[in-house]
Structure 1
Amino acid sequence: MSGSRITFLQGQADQPQALDRVIAHVRRQFTCSDLDELRRAERPLFTGIGASYAALSVPVALLREHGIVSQRVLADEIEDGTAGFEVDALIGVSQGGKSSETIAAFKAVRYVPRVAVLNVTPSPLGDLAEMTVDLGNEPDSYASTIGFTGTVVALDLIAGAIAGREEADDPWRDIAAWAEAVRRDAAGVISELAPRGARCVAADVVASGASRASAEEGALLLREVVRMPATAAVTRNYLHGEMESAGGTADTLHVIFGDSREVELARSLSGAGHLTLLVTAQDVGPAENLSVVRLPEAAPAARVVLETIVMQQLVASLSAERDIPIESFVFANDDTKEGGVDPADFLISSPVAAG
């Protein structure tokens, strides 16, 4: 595999089998002694930018659950080093290994081991790292499908290795079958809400815990693919005033991930006339303004993958309703990737870029 570009829709279709490949590929890397120093980390600091930063909610949540000091930080916040952080391993994520901010962070930090989590190898970020964990050069779409969910898998396996997780607690055994089933179920639910959803002018995506990764990636996909202003919010913070923006308009889409306070939140929003999609493992029925996608009971990391699959289906459907080609990005920012952006990765539709 070459890490080549595929379409978003192809990424959706290929994802279940790709996830199985990624799981096997990452596990093989942990059979070698090359990652022994990573396993011994006691204060890992995770860094990335964009979707990679979103994915970092997953290992941080797992490690804290096991009593291991862990946090995530945007890569541009440590471009001058990690002063102010207690850290014995820096784990940087960049699917293509070219994110300029993460590369700058790795260049600034040399007194702790640097671990690059990548899809594409070799890469500039990998060249700076003492250790690498890669997904196996899986083909991915520009608005990432397999690259993001595969990164979530890799980060969970890294965190599990650091935490000393028992093999019996590995959450990935059924992921391919779950991914197929969830996408199929989500397609049916979303087909009914998509016409109204496409008319919405903004979206809120709400979750807590590890599922903050799903909310942040979901908001990013709505912005990238559907060109809909979208905000990711943490459940309890959303309740403390952020949700009040829904009070004056019925044209905001609400996507809620969760099983506890999130269920009541979804009912409150839909009861007030707001289009709401609840993604939950609870037995919750649909209602007026409320659509529900049911998930299987799964560990937090596997759940993030399934929630992301629902979001991918949502943005694909809304993009089709709005007649926006998924691969047509508006802005090509040359300073976000080392070596600049490859125009072949997507269709540049910005009048400025085209001119």
Structure 2
Amino acid sequence: MSDRYARQSLFKPIGESGQQKIGEKHVLLVGCGALGSANAEGLVRAGIGKLTIIDRDYVELTNLQRQQLFTEQDYLNQIPKAIAAKARLHDINSNVIIHAHVIDATYTSLEPLLKDVDLLIDATDNFDTRFIINDLMQKHKIPWVFGSCVGSTGMSYTILPNETPCLQCILDATPISGATCDSVGIIYPTVQMVVAHQQAEALKLLVEDDNALRTKLVTFDLWNNFYHTMNMDRSKKKSCPSCGDNPIYTYLDYEHQPKTEVLCGRNTVQIRNKRRVSLEELANRLLTVGTVKKNDFLVSVEYDSYRVVFFQDGRTLIHGTNSIDTAKKIYYQLTG
């Protein structure tokens, strides 16, 4: 066993056999913001065999306060988070196989990546995506660790298909605040607390110590000194459309997947188009419109009072409006 993981292997619940198991496992990380970047670093330092990262966004200045893998240069160059994370993680542990995807997490984009995944970690920032994850994990019988944080509050729960209540069951039984980091802010320790719970559960699952898994929903408020665990066993429902006796996986239906959406609290609209774009051609065409920035993954242009960002997978972010109608108008003005 490599000396690199000696201190982790000395921990009896892991040991050398557990460390070997960690090195053979594949984790899918959905989202590479605050929770995602911290989870990714923890997994890579722990010696995970393979890590796949999915994130649709690029590094912005406000990310640097809490998203630990990114630098000012990543922000200046508008590097996609998944790509910036992969570069930094490779510097931390070059033995880990890391795949980075600059895509939106949808049913059609996620399902092809699940073939040999042992565990999924939720690091998303919206429940639309989480419900898709929830249905997919139930369908493919893959365990996943839910995590959420805002302000000084956070929560985490480990979901095991066929055993525990799923996310749909939990949310039907537990009121969830609609606050976001963009509307009420967040402090860095909140992120670390959620990640600590997610990482501990991830390690238990990776070394296959299921008896040690936390079976309760954890909620906390660091600023107001509150910590609570809640038994969710009774929330599991036989009629649940995701984990019940006759699942129908509602959120995997095309009509339930957003094509155009307002990104909560960000004064931004995302438009999703199945048609991939030529960034080179688009950048040249937009030079007559406004100031253009381009890298291998996206093209952005300053247009009137808006910043419009085009991704290679066909997604477009229109910053500066919460109006879908306005965003569509701008999109068609620039793309025809």
Query: What TM-score results when the alignment is normalised by the length of structure 2?
Result: 0.32
Higher strand proportion (structure 1 or 2): 2
Query: What TM-score results when the alignment is normalised by the length of structure 1?
Result: 0.30
Higher helix proportion (structure 1 or 2): 1
